[in-house]
Amino acid sequence: MNNVMAYAAFDPKKPLGPFTISRREPGINDVQIDIKYCGVCHSDVHQARDEWGGSIFPMVPGHEIVGVVSKTGHAVKKYKVGDKVGVGCLVDSCRTCSSCKEGLEQYCENGSVPTYNGLEKDGKTPTFGGYSTHIIVHEDFVLKIPENLPLDAAAPLLCAGITTYSPLKHWKAGPGKKIGVIGLGGLGHMAVKIGHALGAEITVFSHSERKREDAKRFGARNFVVTKNQNEMEALTNTLDLIINTVSVELDWNLYLRLLKRDSSMVILGVPSKAPEVSAFGLIAGRKSLAGSLIGGIAETQEMLDFCGRNNIVCDIERVAIQDINTAYERMVKGDVRYRFVIDIESLK
């Protein structure tokens, strides 16, 4: 399997365009996947524009990949040709450190291998993501997509789904818990759907009035427009957990005030510059400011199965690969309901 058609970023300031990549032949433990759809995560924009520094170009983004198995290495046990599968943000890890042994490959102490904008374990082969027609991945990093979920709307579960499911489970979202979700974008709308399905009461914090009805439709009990100071103050000391998905700088101190004693705000969004946090805001009330990175492979499968049982998928807008640059512009403006998903057929 050489020459695979793809779309790439060549430079942080230039639009993405067509590119041909070379992928390895499947090894004995590898699965070859014909990609059908790939979600567009805000992290794709951050990395294609080198907003976090250290980006590797040319870059083929995309880590919300779904497709169908088209070939397997002879030692592959879990998958066969024709299976509906997915690949998320990771394609390998060391498998020996304590995090890997606990199924937390995303925190691999020797550095996990990201699906794109990284290097394979050989330290020199760049990884290329899902804005492409095929991908070859070790079976341990391939996920099974539940049969009842439509492939296109399931694609964003591979990042937006697991990134919100993991902290909701870790911080014990469930009945009787009041949870705030800041930002109703790709991650945020999944946090609402999953948090609601776990039985928690969800309050959405949004920077405009526009998404109120959608938030309710996804299962939120309350909706607060963040510039409305009275509504914000009325929630002081009421929340058990806040999931912050916003990709731009916010005043985190305003939200720490809304937490009950001993509660946490978990940062998922990655603004280029972190805001200043008042020590008193944490000390008074023994509060925690935490972060969380995607999720491990076992937990990603658990999330997919949970979404299958509860019929949870993303609200998506399907786009052709030729429209990716417009999709990026719209995403940066917050103009997406609620995830762009690339139809990979348009690449062929």
Triad 227, 163, 67: Cα angle to 5°: 125
- Which helix (H) or strand (E) segment holds residue 255: the answer is helix 252-256
Taking a C-beta distance cutoff of 8 angstroms, is the pair 340, 215 a contact? no
Site for ligand NAP contains 56 (CB under 6 A): no
Give the shortest CB-295-to-ligand NAP separation in angstroms: 8
Between residues 64 and 240, which has the closer beta carbon with respect to Zn ion? 64
- For Zn ion, the binding residues in 18-47 under the rule CB under 5 A are 41, 43
**CA 242 to chain centroid:** 17
**How far is it, in rounded angstroms, from Cα 220 to Cα 336?**
19
Partner that binds at residue 108, options Zn ion, ligand NAP, none, CB closer than 5 to 8 Å by kind: Zn ion
All residues at 6 or more sequence positions from 239 whose CB lies less than 8 Å from its CB, including other chains: 178, 179, 180, 203, 258, 259, 260, 263
- For ligand NAP, the binding residues in 194-223 under the rule CB under 6 A are 206-208, 211
Between residues 72 and 264, which has the closer beta carbon with respect to ligand NAP? 264
Between residues 69 and 294, which has the closer beta carbon with respect to ligand NAP? 294
Binding-site size, ligand NAP (CB under 6 A): 30
**How far is it, in rounded angstroms, from Cα 342 to Cα 36?**
8
Max distance between CA atoms of the chain, in angstroms, equals 63
Give the residue at shortest CB distance from ligand NAP: 185
Site for ligand NAP contains 43 (CB under 6 A): yes
Binding pattern to Zn ion, positions 109-138, x when CB under 5 A? -x----------------------------
The letter for the amino acid at 191 is A
Between residues 239 and 327, which has the closer beta carbon with respect to Zn ion? 327
**How far is it, in rounded angstroms, from Cα 87 to Cα 81?**
16
Give the shortest CB-138-to-ligand NAP separation in angstroms: 21
**How far is it, in rounded angstroms, from Cα 254 to Cα 148?**
41
- For ligand NAP, the binding residues in 238-277 under the rule CB under 6 A are 245-248, 268-270
Site for ligand NAP contains 293 (CB under 6 A): yes
Partner that binds at residue 119, options Zn ion, ligand NAP, none, CB closer than 5 to 8 Å by kind: none
Taking a C-beta distance cutoff of 8 angstroms, is the pair 308, 148 a contact? yes
- As a 3-state breakdown, the chain gives helix, strand, coil percent values, each rounded to 5, of 30, 25, 45
Which region, judged by CB under 5 A, interacts with Zn ion, from 73-81, 85-93, 118-126, 324-332?
A: 85-93
Give the CA distances from residue 220 to residues 178, 203, 317, in Å, rounded to whole numbers and listed in that order: 11, 6, 21
Give the shortest CB-70-to-ligand NAP separation in angstroms: 28
Site for ligand NAP contains 334 (CB under 6 A): yes
Site for ligand NAP contains 164 (CB under 6 A): no
Between residues 180 and 188, which has the closer beta carbon with respect to ligand NAP? 188
Binding site for ligand NAP (CB under 6 A): 41-43, 46, 159-160, 163, 183-188, 206-208, 211, 245-248, 268-270, 292-294, 331, 334, 336
